Amino acid sequence: MSEAADSAFHNLPHPRALAFLGDAVFELFLRELAVAQGLSQSRDLHDFTTRHAKASAQVALFHQLKPHLTEAELELVRQGRNVGVGTGRRSDQAAHRQATGLEALLGALALQQPSRLSELWALARPWLFNPPGAEG
């Protein structure tokens, strides 16, 4: 781990493991948002979470959060982005890597800085409810 990331985070698992955890953290956050939005039909709940969990949506969210991230957090995103992960033939490799970087950051924050994770969720929440270009 680089010096920048090490100054804020200590003894973290491999970025791949962080992304694995961050994926679950992000999914739980989206499910909580869907319920808070008042969705109750299975199809609506599923549509909300899958619309926001896809790589392109995570990249858009990352760009919303990026100005608020510290250097150490950006370093974790970079490390997660550089982890070799498999993608489907139809997936955009660059978007998938960037999404993996965001997930690695979320995993690290869940483990070591849950209050900072809450701050980022507070920044993300309004944007996720009404992202630019949203239909409806």
Q: Which residues are catalytic?
A: 23
Report whether 9 contacts 1 (CB < 8 A): yes
> What are the start-end ranges of the H helices in 54-130?
55-65, 71-81, 93-112, 114-129
Report whether 20 contacts 105 (CB < 8 A): no
